[in-house]
Copies of this chain bind each other. A is one copy, B any other.
Amino acid sequence: MKAAPGIALAVAFSILAAWEASCRLIPLPDFILPPPSAIAVTAVARAPLLAANAMVTGLEIVAGIGLALAVAVALATAMFASRPLERALAPFLIASQAVPVFAIAPLLVIWFGYGPASKVVMAAVIIFFPITVSLLEGFKSCDPGYRILFRLMGASFGRRLRYLYWPWALPYFFAGLKVGVSVATIGAVIGEWVGSQAGLGYLMIQANARLQVDLVFAAIVWLSLMGVGLWALVGLLERRWVYWK
């Protein structure tokens, strides 16, 4: 029943082939959807430009993930510690996901200036949410048997968290983190709309306005690769940390 790993290549190849074919057969202008071959050529040909901007965005992403992690862990813990607090904060957290960047861009500028801070914050706002929700659900899903055990041991909340809830919620945490690092890329790009001078998002906006759509998609390819890389890294961490599964 086990499928050969050839499936992987076959699927990836057929997706790309279908795309390439549809670009060539249907008269779809290349500034609407460039064929993957053209994107690949641009992604390589403009590598120095892309790499320089990817560096900027990459740093924003990493910092954004760091900030998001700190906020998410703190929030999920606090909300798990107190159900009323959860009820009070949840609407604000959900609201934070409904705010489009243009509405608060001037605010970000006022608070964080034009430096990388505003981009990092914007990325973090997008990343922290799936992590917080997943971690909280993980905490809450803990087996009552174990909760009782820790209560009987007279464990303080901090110790319960460290020895019981945290390891219990780890698989949930990683599910959230995987979503988080995947949307981190778009988070940083959106952040770069808040007045920046560099980065893949900045590059994309400019290229799009000039109808250099192949460059837009090449930037997306670079971004995607960064996302996939982060995902793989998280997968690696997961296998190391959740060693008992």
Q: Are A103 and B217 in contact (CB under 8 A)?
A: yes
Segment with Cβ contacts to B, from A43-51, A62-70, A126-134: A126-134
In the complex, how many angstroms separate the beta carbon of A2 from the nearest chain B beta carbon? 8
Q: Is A196 an interface residue (CB 8 A)?
A: no
**Proximity bits, A205-245, B CB within 8 Å = 1, else 0:** 10010000100110011011011100100000000000001
Contact of A10 among B88, B138, B205 (CB under 8 A): B88
Q: Which residue of B lies closest to A222 (CB)?
A: B98
Q: Is A32 an interface residue (CB 8 A)?
A: yes
* Bound-complex Cα distance A213 to B174 (A): 38
Question: How many residues of chain A are within 8 Å of chain B by beta carbon?
Answer: 73
Instruction: Count copies of this chain in the complex.
Output: 2
Q: Are B91 and A228 in contact (CB under 8 A)?
A: yes
With A88-B7, A103-B216 known as contacts, the answer to whether A227 contacts B95 (CB < 8 A) is yes
In the complex, how many angstroms separate the beta carbon of A25 from the nearest chain B beta carbon? 15
Q: Are B3 and A100 in contact (CB under 8 A)?
A: no
Residues of B within 8 Å of A4, CB to CB, are: 84
Q: Is A106 an interface residue (CB 8 A)?
A: yes
* Bound-complex Cα distance A176 to B171 (A): 13
Q: Are A33 and B228 in contact (CB under 8 A)?
A: no
Q: Are B7 and A94 in contact (CB under 8 A)?
A: no
* Bound-complex Cα distance A143 to B148 (A): 21
Q: Which residue of B lies closest to A229 (CB)?
A: B94
Q: Are A97 and B208 in contact (CB under 8 A)?
A: no
* Bound-complex Cα distance A8 to B85 (A): 5
Q: Is A165 an interface residue (CB 8 A)?
A: no
